[in-house]
Amino acid sequence: MHTLTLHRLDLGSEAAVEDCLIGLDPHETLLTATDLSATRGDGIFETVVVVDGIPQALDAHLDRFERSAAMLDLPAPRRDLWQHAVTVSAGAIRAHTARGAVKFVMSRGDEAGSGAPTGWALGFAPHSRPDGSAPSIDVVLLDRGYRHDVAETSPWLLQGAKTLSYAVNMAALREAHRRGAQDVVFTSIDGYVLEGPNSTVIARIEGVYTTVPTELGVLPGTTQGDAFAALEGWGAPVETRLLSVDELRTADAIWLCSSTRGAAPVRSLDGEPWSVDSLVTVRLNDALDARKA
């Protein structure tokens, strides 16, 4: 990760947004040893791609940030402040890269501090897809351990919130690498497709582009949402529904969608070669790159 800019947000203040943003050197230390981000993974985040200084799908990311905050009983984010912070960061990284990203984070604050949440926005150049291409990926299915309805029965498990507690997601990616793959699709113990550790699944089944509902405790995919909008614009059928693992295995094309990678086509699933629709992949990623906000 090549960091470019860092801004701290003063979330304990009610001053004008301009006065709540403090520019820092991204290599400087920012957090105490008692910040709940570091000690408990107790916070939320979003990563927005920035093309030519414009943050992509920022409204969808801010919507999801607010949703995550509510699920974690965090204070409602001051939307104008976060919007300002991302916009400033995006403008600042434009000088360094035409395709960057801004990660914005809110933790529950410092256990030994004032009680205000901690906030920051980090501008960086992502490793993946630096030139706009979306490389095809090898994927394995891994059990997420939960039933498909766990978000409804057990909301304290925070399924569907984008939290800082990502150790399991990182461990799943390491398991994928051990199996010779680069990414993962999580499945429920009762045989349903969920999501990737940092992506949303789109499967084309009998010509219908299909993803799964957020009721499963998966994140609402900001990139998948814009991909579906593009597909609908072309007259392609899209559907959001429960998808069993058996059905996924009948898909004639699968993509994992994420902000930094776009729509990445799956070229193998559990070691079995999978067909890649290069034409649709290029069209999807061109449409994603053409977003103006």
Residues in contact with a second copy by the rule CB under 8 A: 1-3, 6, 26-35, 37-43, 45, 72-73, 103, 105, 107-108, 111-112, 120, 122, 124, 142-147, 150, 153-158, 161, 163-172, 174-175, 189
Q: Which CB sits closer to a second copy, 154 or 275? A: 154
Nearest CA to 196 out of 137, 279, 128, 236 is that of 137
State in angstroms the smallest separation of the CB of 235 from a second copy.
40
> CB–CB of 57/226 below 8 Å?
yes
- 260 by Cβ neighbours in 10 Å (0-12 / 13-18 / 19+) ranks as buried
> CB–CB of 146/159 below 8 Å?
yes
Q: What count of Cα atoms within 13 Å lies in the side-chain half-sphere of residue 38?
A: 12
Q: Which CB sits closer to a second copy, 175 or 232? A: 175
Nearest CA to 99 out of 47, 26, 46, 49 is that of 49
State in angstroms the smallest separation of the CB of 202 from a second copy.
24
State in angstroms the smallest separation of the CB of 115 from a second copy.
12
Q: Which CB sits closer to a second copy, 84 or 144? A: 144
Q: Which CB sits closer to a second copy, 161 or 227? A: 161
State in angstroms the smallest separation of the CB of 270 from a second copy.
15
The pair of three-digit structure tokens given for residue 35, joined into one six-digit string: 């910040």
**CA–CA dist 226, 136 (Å, integer):** 20
DSSP state of 197: T
Q: Which CB sits closer to a second copy, 124 or 228? A: 124
State in angstroms the smallest separation of the CB of 241 from a second copy.
23
